[in-house]
Structure 1
């Protein structure tokens, strides 16, 4: 009898160990066996706040105004999803795949979005205040009218993105890549952009008041009518940059040698003692 009990006990230990091993393996490989009920609840009710949806497959999910605040969506597949006006406040979206997703008007306030992928996505009018979006891929995304105030976008890709009227007040964009972005009327007041790449950016009428642009690249950029008053332009590259009608009064670190490679017009406002050559008709405009 004792032998039978001992054998039974050993079998239970082996089974329990196997289950623990499977659980650990599943978590590491992205396999989830418990997300189904939460996904179904989300589809039916449109609400799944504080849910654990790591590695969940939500591809092509069509659920406007979904409520996912504080949910964990790490490594989730949201490609091609349609989630306009959704609430992702303080959600964990690290490494989430959101290529070509529609999250227009969505709320990402305070969200964790490190290394997330929103390439070619649509996030017009979305709110990303205080969000951590470092090392993310927002290339070719439509972010017009979006609010990135106080967000952390260090080393994030925004190449060829649409940033028309977007707000980046006091945002961190150190090392960000904004080549060929369309940012007419965007607001970068107080933003940090050291070493950022803004080559060929279209930023007509944009505001860079008190922005930190040290070492940034602005070659072939269109800054017609832009406001750069008080900006730090130390070591900023301005080769063939169009500064017609731009305000550069009070800028820091601006040297004549840098300015000599740019062009402007009679309405360009410069610090005392600096001059700028007039733009020719074929002057580059960021294209």
Structure 2
């Protein structure tokens, strides 16, 4: 049966999507390609398997392959799966709290509502992943690539995204409160109405980003680049902008700059002034 499916273009994906197995020529409403825990460990993963709702808490398997697998609402809390392959996998509402996933590949994965609180995702690839409404609070994403990802309504409170790439990402209403964002790249990202209160974003790149309505209360943007950003209705309350470059930034209202500071190296749009940082 498996060899027949391999000869049919997209057949395996179709079976997985509609949740059926083709067995002995009949149709049965059962998960497709399910595997036992022993099989998963022995084979080093389970690509294209249906593992939804499975109890896999604490699974230890480095360099595992779960590409295109269905892991929807699966319990993988505290799993150790560093350097693993989750490309195009279905991880919607999957429980991955405190999991070790550093160096893993989640490219184009479906991860809406995933719970990755306090997980280690350092140096991982999440390009074009769907992370809407994801719980990424206190998650380590340092050095990861989330270019083109969809993070709308995601929560990254107290997360570490230093050096991470968010180029062209959709990030409306994302919550980065108290996060470490040093050297991160948000160029051309959509951060409308995002919360960056008390964020540490020294040296971060926001060039061309939409920061309309963003909250930057007590945020540190020392040395950050905000060239050609949209800042309409943004709130800069006690924001540190020493050495920051806001050349070409538009929409910034003096009425919404309250106690923000800069220095002689700060570059500001015409008509905008800041008090000196002390």
TM-score by length of 1: 0.84
Query: What are the ranges of 5 or more consecutive residues in structure 2 without an aligned counterpart?
Result: 1-27
Q: Distance in 2 between matches of 1:140 and 1:54?
A: 26
Q: Distance in 2 between matches of 1:51 and 1:264?
A: 54
Deviation of 1:259 (Å): 3.2
The secondary structure found in structure 2 opposite 1:43 is helix
Residue 60 of structure 2 is matched in structure 1 by 62
Counterparts of residues 234-273 of structure 1 (less than 5 Å): 234-273=232-271
CA apart distance, 1:47: 3.0
- Are residue 147 (structure 1) and residue 145 (structure 2) matched? yes
Alignment of 1:195-206 (within 5 A): 195-206=193-204
Retained in 2: the 8 A contact 1:140–1:159?
A: yes
2:236 counterpart SS class: coil
2:219 counterpart of 1:221: yes
1:151-191, Cα deviation, whole Å (9 max, x unpaired): 00000000000011011000011001110000100000000
8 Å Cα contact 1:187-1:206 kept in structure 2: yes
Question: Cα offset for 1:254?
Answer: 1.1
* Residue-by-residue CA offset, 1:126-171 (whole Å, 9 max, x unaligned): 0000100000100001110011100000000000000110110000
Aligned to 2:117: 119
Residue 260 of structure 1 deviates from its aligned partner by: 4.8
CA shift digits 1:237-279 (9 cap, x unpaired): 1000000000001001012223353111111001123211101
After TM superposition, which residue ranges in structure 1, 4 or more long, deviate above 4 angstroms?
none
How many residue pairs are counted as aligned between the two chains?
A: 251
Q: 1:38 deviation in Å? A: 4.0
Please give the per-residue CA displacement for 1:218-245, whole angstroms capped at 9, x wherever unaligned: 1000000000000101000100000000
The 5-angstrom pairing of residues 153-192 of structure 1 reads 153-192=151-190
Distance 1:38 1:71 in 2: 14
Where does residue 4 of structure 2 map in the other structure? none
Report if aligned partners of 1:260, 1:277 keep a CA contact under 8 Å in 2: no
- Give TM-score scaled by structure 2 length: 0.87
Q: Which has the greater radius of gyration?
A: 1
SS in 1 for 2:237: coil
* Pairing 1:193–2:191 present: yes
Contact 2:197 2:217 (C-alpha < 8 Å) held by counterparts:
yes
Aligned with residue 277 of structure 2, among 276, 279, 282: 279
**Aligned-residue RMSD, C-alpha:** 1.6
2:46 is aligned with 1:43: no
